[in-house]
Structure 1
Amino acid sequence: MTATSPTTSPTTPQHDQPGHVPAAPLQALGPSGHSTGPGTGETLPGTTHPPTQASGGYAPWSGHVPGPGRRTPVTTYRLQLSEDLTFADAENLVPYLSRLGVTDLYLSPVLAAAPGSTHGYDVIDHQRVSEVLGGRAGLESLARTAHDAGMGLVVDIVPNHMAVPTPAWHNQPLWSVLREGADSPYAAWFDVSVDEPILMPVLGRRIGEVLADEELVLETMVVPGQEHLGPQHVLRYFDHAFPVAAGTESLPMHVLVERQHYRLAYWKVGDEEINYRRFFDVGTLAAIRVEDPEVFSGSHALVLELVGSGVVNGLRVDHPDGLADPGGYLSRLSAASGAAWIAAEKILAPDESLPTSWSVAGTTGYDAAWRIDQLQVDPSGAARLGALMQELTGDAPVDLGRVTEEAKREIIAGSLASEVDRLARILDDLTSRDVRLRDHTFKDLRACVIELLVAAEQYRAYVVPGTPPTPETVAVVHRDAEVARARLEADQSETLDLVVALLLGEPVGSEGLSSSAQRAEAVIRFQQVCGAVTAKGVEDTAFYRWTHLTSLTEVGGNPGGFALSADEAHAWADRVQATWPDTMVTSTTHDTKRGEDVRARLDVLASYAEEWTDLVHRLRAATQRVRPVDLDGRSENLLWQTLWGTWAPGSADPMDADRLGRYLVKAAREQKTWTSWTAPDLEREQALTDYAAHLLSDEEVTRQMEAFASLTARAVRACVLANKALTLTWLGVADVYQGSEVTRTSLVDPDNRRVVSYTGASGLEAVLERLDAGQSPRGLDEEKLALTARILRLRAQRPETFVGPRSGYRAIPVTTSFAFAYARLLDEEPDVVVIARRLSYRLEQLGGWREESVVLPEGTWQDVVSETRTQGGFQRLADVVGEAPVVVLARIPRAVQAITSQETDV
């Protein structure tokens, strides 16, 4: 199967044409009888980019918006596919999602994955759609149903790695390499040198003991999926199976094992000696060399065929930072897909911007998510919450840098030691061959590499061998170098300068060094290792240790910033809108450590820091008898905040002891201080989970928590609804994660992949129908659903206001910091205005809006929820917003105003 690489847009298929929003009574605009909302048969004029010059100054294809004729999503709905949510199940959801206002389905990976996979990121075959999910026929049926409803299909793809499954034969390219080594047609696929045996650290004991006890067994069998090859010799180790190199099957077992193209080893050997690049430190995910044109073609042929044939309309790219050249890959993907809409899962440092050279629409939204949260975090709560953290954990509010540094060093010395050593050996070999450079020792080179990795704030730099780096990249690397220099010995400073020059591609040493393949490898591997160290050291270790306010320790988050001002948020949004009008904004994903509603509850704690501290003290005293005497302080502070963030007894999604316990064990193992994945302290883990279960059932704890819930209810409601509205209106493509149209108590995966109740009397479909029939929302769940539906339908009616080159962003003047207001522009004219309440509790303490005001753009504006109308100009916030957490105002077109006036006259 070959890749489809159109150089011009094909004839636009029917499903790329603007779709229709189905009839629904939640009208947002227009007087009775003259609705411009759903039900009019009005098309969605913003789902494709016409091949004409846009008025906003953007060409129809600039690399940041899809090419002419290519679909741009307006609102995506993320579905985590699995055995419990197949293509057929997703197809059954299309009527509900269409009624909700969704314009595009956004699917987790659809290719064949490892047996038992619950997420799809462990791909085993790039040429097959997952049979578990319904196969290609099921995917095409889903696409047809979605397209008939006017909806597009966005699919998640995984270019960085493939699974190392059990048994290994499920991954046929890997099986081929293990069997044939350098002679395999797939020898170039995996990021490993086939000149040496590939380490397979799967043994439960050391190889000598395994051989002595005859746990390795030679079998002859027909390998599933390779029936055409006939019977093969297979080496078995319990559930594992490995191929046997031709001609070695008759050797004694200890000799046979030595003669393979792989090395079976004790699992603990992996961290120190693994010799293939992995997804971070996950040994069951082996990286592939997608930078190789043959590998790109072989691993993308089916996906590109699905895009070329119109089955798939857009792509989400998983973890591009792991690739040798992310920018080059994305350019190749954009060209091969005919300039389809592509979003990159890029985690940015707080002050980092997405490289403008990337041919993508933008990020998947982590950069927006943390800013939305921090807009609702009261800076005055930092000191008190910090004091509580220090009391329980010993970590002071100023210790985040220390905690992060310690975590990164532990990762470098532990699970990523082999990758760091491999990079240092490359640099050592490179310099030892040059007489001008050979006095720089391996020890010094390794020390410099480690300090650069520890100092790095970004996931990676973007240096392409043979291409001069940008001034921004040079500045970032030099900043890291100065931090590293302060931690090195004085004599190592010169070595650091050499390493930096080598990594930036600057002239050093002899002439031949500049074009050396080994130098190019060093440049690439440093960036790949840097991303892995940052991910595992910061987000998967330090963020579990830092418990100041856990809503801030999110993927791509900025807990050191704590709170964000309105001016900072507006400035960031202005910059993003100018360059990335089709970027994605989300607040919950399959990767978030806490769902949006859990984070909103936690955000509110900063406004109630004193009351929260008192509550924790009372709860500790009330449960002192059952609290484990050796309970780790970080785990305890995390427990209290998690208990509050998921406190929703009586709701449709209550927390239970099993879910809470599993989360706490995972979090503690990620902390790696008193238990870990490789050395679990089962007894202390059980004590922790038993204590958590007691907290959920203890009557006094329930009474105290319910009292705090009552105290904070208004602020929590305001935060939940305001944050949702911001997510759906702030910038670009809005993403709704499955089930997040109502409140959820979701924690980190796999908890956030739980089944959502769509059908039945209390399912989301029935609730939406009741709301559409005119029933008032009952509780926060239904309020959130009603707000989501109103906004999504507005987006469907006015797509070009929210995405594409005609859209724009402008801050709206307000006289108070407790309101965050902005306009979404269409052709530079305000078309939708959003005013969100911030720090609701402090606003109440000051007496509410009083005479605070907003300057609305001229015209007539209608609230999409209450349907009340407001004139532009100077208005009191008390009149426009009142007690609402957020208002979304849509401009009423002049033609509709004229009709309204005529009807009024009649």
Structure 2
Amino acid sequence: MPTVPTDPVATYRVQLTPEFTFAEVVGILDHLTALGVSHLHLSPILAAMPGSTHGYDWCPPARISPVLGGPEGYRLLRELARAAGIGIILDIVPNHIGVADARRNEWWADVLRYGAASEYAGFFDLDTVVADGLLCLPWLGSDGDLSGLVLDGDGCLLLGDRVLVTAPGSSSPGDDPLAVLARQHYRLVPFDSRLIGYRRFLAVNDLAALRQDAPEVYDATHAWLRELAADDLFDGVRVDHLDGLTDPVGYCDRLRTDIGDRLLYVEKGLGPGERIDPVLPVDGTTGYEQLRIIEAAFTAASGVIELSETHHLVTGVVGDGDELTAVANDLRHVTLIDMFPDRVRRTTRLLEEAAPELPAHHLHQAVTALICEARIARMDYPSALPAALATLDRLKRRNPDRTEAFDVLAHAFQDATFAPGAAQRLAEAVSAINAKAFEDIGYHRTARLVSVQEIGCSPGVPSVTRDVFHRHNAERARDLPRGLSALSTHDTKRSEDVRARIALIAQSPQRWSILVFTLLRMLPPPDAMTGYFLLQNLIGVWPAGDDGATGKPSAALSARLRDYARKAMREGGTVSSWTAVDDDAEAAVIEWLDAVQTGAQAALIADFVAGIAPSSRDEALSRKALSLLLPGVGEIYQGTQWWDDSLTDPDNRRPVDYSQSPDHPKTALVRAALDLRRRHPRAFGPGGTYRPLRVSGPKATHVLGFARGTHDNPPDVVVLTIRLAHTFRPGVERRDATIDLPIGLWRDSETGRDHAETATAAELLGDRPVVFLERL
């Protein structure tokens, strides 16, 4: 029987739903075995709110979802996967819990029934101080209209899809719902009232944060995982939203004790130059920093400069790095005030208690300023302390009249006994603000090049040099050899293939500019920024065959684009928003989007896509090879072993057609890359080395080459991929890039041809975007 390798070869992420359960996953095990993956990565498996299609709104008691197949279905999947040599990584959600229907969440229901006297009140991060001991639920519209509130036959209050249980004896059949509400331990308030009685996952009202720092909460939420560990029923875990926890380091320490030496991954964003704190006992992140470095390596810096000008002419805003920084600063502040006032209020309250001699509004202003100024994902990790103190020093110089308040914040970061919990609350707020302000709002308000407006990416720094790329990966080989390398996930705004296509715009900026201005003259969009944003996404998903031949969007694709446009407009919040939907404005944009896909406009778009599609396919293959063979462990998101035109969720969680060809060029590449890893496990595992190859000549910048091996030994494998492919097509151009191979004789894994010393890209690659060489 095959064994599950200790060091993963690659993981394969599946999204479980009521229609794709453990039984359906069993049905694809043969396909995964043929691909060569070593670990199956499951989305959350616990019972969740009714109808959940993602599992992140799980509800207690923590138990394997009956809808997905229950414990028996999971054990069968584990048994059959292990027999195939495939391990299982579980996605766990410690930060929050679903609360939309209190009848399905016994902990939340108890809090609603009994308020502060509930035995579960300490399970949640509640704040009842602002409402004299009552729990404020920001579930009403901005007008505070309660006319939709009804009382059902079970004594529950219903508000749309939300269900609230009532205190014992507080309701009788036929009672006025408003009178019943007045008798409860909670109040319903407008979403914009700033009276929020519980910490949420970001700004999602239906997900309430748990206090994992409380031992009883940890025990209640992880007993199921301990039981699975005792029976050896999983091989690793992925921790969702680590930086949302009060004490990420303490949590990971405890989790590491529970799961032993199994794989431990954490979802955590890292900005350019930022490193995961070495005190975290983890094998790595879920790989957004690797997504960023790969995306940046395939983004043409010179083209981005020209795209800034086009963006300015279309939208009136430059959209360059300086402009994006200014917009980001404004967005932080607006988002903090509008969506997270509770974060500031609760942090300030702790500081007031520790420093009562200072005016409260000074502390409030200092907290707000630090949250908006922070440049790293979370500021209370040990290694982040210098950056936090440097930020406070910068703020003191800028605001000398608030020096004492900033000193109080610095004291809180340096001394855990001073204002206990304040630094942690402030750091968690920074994480929440960055995620909401940038990824959800900001990335839908600008459009210089939307392929780099992605989770983990930095639109203000869209490109990296080959030297930076190689230095990043050498450090990763040294520090995080088991870290995941993701190109697409259930959270990415666009699939890897859509981003690869859009990135080609930066390699054809002049032709793109001509297309844009022609289209805008023919059919001006109702909103320039939104139109320009959607046009790039349309380019990314426009149908094109392997030969570059293009068609028109199908009815199904057009419908998906309409749904995407609605979500994008509401996330951006300028044309429409989630809390104030403008049906007329949305309809006008969608009418324009439909029209662009017809007639002469469609012909122009199809012609542009035909010109870049072959290059984008080559780059998509190059990116995929890098994600699987660079330091770390490649994560293959469901369906991305074939071409995938998915946009943001829920579009990227659609069912996958597993009947697609096993000989697809992308599938064949994945299979070849993972076969290579299996033949050379030491070169790609912990202890493996990463050595950039020297590439010279006029076209040298178009080749990324590196060797993998082991310390004190010559390298075993050479990987070569092309980048910026639009001006590096097969033929004479590839003679102008020469690669210095490591000493020895090297055999092409695909063709069997041998090479030594130096060779041109034309000789090594031919018309291929990727080549693997093995030492003879």
For normalisation by structure 2, the TM-score amounts to 0.93
Q: Match of 1:365? A: 287
Q: Match of 1:531? A: 431
- Seen in structure 2, the aligned counterparts of structure 1 residues 602 and 170 have a Cα distance that, compared at 3 Å, is same
Query: Is the CA contact (8 Å cut-off) linking 2:351 and 2:408 kept in structure 1?
Result: no
- Seen in structure 2, the aligned counterparts of structure 1 residues 799 and 254 have a Cα distance that, compared at 3 Å, is same
**Matched residue type, 2:412:** L
What is the deviation of 1:715?
1.9
Match of 1:796 among 678, 688, 713: 678
Match of 2:693 among 802, 812, 815: 812
What is the deviation of 1:567?
0.5
Query: Is the CA contact (8 Å cut-off) linking 1:112 and 1:124 kept in structure 2?
Result: yes
What is the deviation of 1:693?
1.2
Match of 2:568 among 667, 677, 680: 667
**Matched residue type, 2:270:** L
What is the deviation of 1:215?
4.2
Match of 1:186 among 120, 131, 138: 120
**Matched residue type, 1:670:** E
**Matched residue type, 2:517:** H
- Seen in structure 2, the aligned counterparts of structure 1 residues 308 and 869 have a Cα distance that, compared at 3 Å, is farther
Q: Match of 2:497? A: 597
- Seen in structure 2, the aligned counterparts of structure 1 residues 806 and 237 have a Cα distance that, compared at 3 Å, is closer
Q: Match of 1:54? A: none
What is the alpha-carbon distance in structure 2 between the residues aligned to residue 572 and residue 876 of structure 1? 26
**Matched residue type, 1:413:** I
Query: Is the CA contact (8 Å cut-off) linking 1:75 and 1:734 kept in structure 2?
Result: yes
Q: Match of 1:495? A: 405
What is the alpha-carbon distance in structure 1 between the residues aligned to residue 684 and residue 637 of structure 2? 19
Alignment partner of 1:170 is 2:79: no
What is the alpha-carbon distance in structure 1 between the residues aligned to residue 397 and residue 529 of structure 2? 30
Q: How many residue pairs were aligned?
A: 759
What is the deviation of 1:830?
1.3
Match of 2:87 among 130, 145, 152: 152
Alignment partner of 1:783 is 2:668: no
What is the alpha-carbon distance in structure 2 between the residues aligned to residue 786 and residue 844 of structure 1? 21
Residues 360-759 of structure 1: matches in 2 within 5 Å?
A: 360-396=282-318, 397=320, 398-432=322-356, 438=357, 440-463=358-381, 470=382, 472-485=383-396, 488=399, 490-505=400-415, 515=417, 519-622=419-522, 624=523, 627-628=524-525, 631-648=526-543, 656-696=557-597, 698-758=598-658
Match of 2:721 among 819, 832, 836: 836
**Matched residue type, 1:863:** D
- Seen in structure 2, the aligned counterparts of structure 1 residues 699 and 313 have a Cα distance that, compared at 3 Å, is same
What is the deviation of 1:527?
0.9
Query: Is the CA contact (8 Å cut-off) linking 1:122 and 1:162 kept in structure 2?
Result: yes
What is the deviation of 1:851?
4.8
Q: Match of 2:43? A: 108
What is the alpha-carbon distance in structure 2 between the residues aligned to residue 619 and residue 314 of structure 1? 50
Counterpart of 1:656 in 2: which secondary structure? Answer: helix
Q: Match of 1:59? A: none
What is the alpha-carbon distance in structure 2 between the residues aligned to residue 252 and residue 740 of structure 1? 53
What is the deviation of 1:870?
2.1
What is the deviation of 1:132?
1.6
What is the alpha-carbon distance in structure 2 between the residues aligned to residue 710 and residue 543 of structure 1? 27
Q: Match of 1:24? A: none
Query: Is the CA contact (8 Å cut-off) linking 1:374 and 1:603 kept in structure 2?
Result: no
- Seen in structure 2, the aligned counterparts of structure 1 residues 845 and 823 have a Cα distance that, compared at 3 Å, is closer
What is the alpha-carbon distance in structure 2 between the residues aligned to residue 103 and residue 889 of structure 1? 23
- Seen in structure 2, the aligned counterparts of structure 1 residues 366 and 214 have a Cα distance that, compared at 3 Å, is closer
Residues 296-311 of structure 1: matches in 2 within 5 Å?
A: 296-311=218-233
Q: Match of 2:3? A: 18
What is the deviation of 1:262?
2.1
What is the alpha-carbon distance in structure 2 between the residues aligned to residue 309 and residue 867 of structure 1? 46
What is the deviation of 1:258?
3.9
Counterpart of 2:268 in 1: which secondary structure? Answer: coil
1:48-86 CA distances to partner (integer Å, 9 max, x unpaired)?
A: 2xxxxxxxxxxxxxxxxxxxxxxx322111101112211
**RMSD of equivalent CA atoms:** 2.4
Alignment partner of 1:877 is 2:761: yes
What is the alpha-carbon distance in structure 1 between the residues aligned to residue 614 and residue 143 of structure 2? 59
- Seen in structure 2, the aligned counterparts of structure 1 residues 739 and 503 have a Cα distance that, compared at 3 Å, is same
Counterpart of 1:188 in 2: which secondary structure? Answer: helix
1:406-453 CA distances to partner (integer Å, 9 max, x unpaired)?
A: 111110121112222222233223322xxxxx1x22222111111111
- Seen in structure 2, the aligned counterparts of structure 1 residues 389 and 515 have a Cα distance that, compared at 3 Å, is same
Counterpart of 2:47 in 1: which secondary structure? Answer: strand
Q: Which has the larger radius of gyration?
A: 1
Mean Cα deviation higher: 365-374 or 389-398 = 389-398
Counterpart of 1:554 in 2: which secondary structure? Answer: coil
- Seen in structure 2, the aligned counterparts of structure 1 residues 741 and 236 have a Cα distance that, compared at 3 Å, is closer
What is the alpha-carbon distance in structure 1 between the residues aligned to residue 192 and residue 291 of structure 2? 37
User: What is the aligned-residue identity percentage?
Assistant: 33
- Seen in structure 2, the aligned counterparts of structure 1 residues 724 and 607 have a Cα distance that, compared at 3 Å, is same
What is the alpha-carbon distance in structure 1 between the residues aligned to residue 527 and residue 512 of structure 2? 20
Query: Is the CA contact (8 Å cut-off) linking 1:102 and 1:796 kept in structure 2?
Result: no
What is the alpha-carbon distance in structure 1 between the residues aligned to residue 586 and residue 177 of structure 2? 41
1:225-264 CA distances to partner (integer Å, 9 max, x unpaired)?
A: xxxxxxxx54455654333334545799766534433223
Counterpart of 1:127 in 2: which secondary structure? Answer: coil
**Matched residue type, 2:516:** V
Q: Match of 1:858? A: 743
Alignment partner of 1:889 is 2:773: yes
Mean Cα deviation higher: 794-803 or 389-398 = 794-803
- Seen in structure 2, the aligned counterparts of structure 1 residues 205 and 596 have a Cα distance that, compared at 3 Å, is closer
What is the alpha-carbon distance in structure 2 between the residues aligned to residue 363 and residue 838 of structure 1? 26
Q: Which runs of 5+ in 1 are unaligned?
A: 1-13, 20-46, 49-71, 222-232, 433-437, 464-469, 506-513, 772-781, 893-906
**Matched residue type, 2:775:** R
What is the deviation of 1:193?
4.4
- Seen in structure 2, the aligned counterparts of structure 1 residues 285 and 214 have a Cα distance that, compared at 3 Å, is closer
What is the deviation of 1:588?
0.3
Match of 2:163 among 234, 237, 241: 241
What is the deviation of 1:807?
2.0
What is the alpha-carbon distance in structure 2 between the residues aligned to residue 380 and residue 79 of structure 1? 38
Q: Match of 2:137? A: 200
Q: Match of 1:323? A: 245
What is the alpha-carbon distance in structure 1 between the residues aligned to residue 120 and residue 235 of structure 2? 30
Counterpart of 2:759 in 1: which secondary structure? Answer: strand
What is the deviation of 1:605?
1.1
Query: Is the CA contact (8 Å cut-off) linking 1:154 and 1:316 kept in structure 2?
Result: yes
Counterpart of 2:278 in 1: which secondary structure? Answer: coil
Q: Which runs of 5+ in 2 are unaligned?
A: none
Query: Is the CA contact (8 Å cut-off) linking 2:707 and 2:719 kept in structure 1?
Result: yes
What is the alpha-carbon distance in structure 2 between the residues aligned to residue 329 and residue 170 of structure 1? 26
Q: Match of 1:64? A: none
1:524-551 CA distances to partner (integer Å, 9 max, x unpaired)?
A: 1101111111111111111222211111
What is the alpha-carbon distance in structure 2 between the residues aligned to residue 149 and residue 882 of structure 1? 36
Match of 2:213 among 260, 267, 291: 291
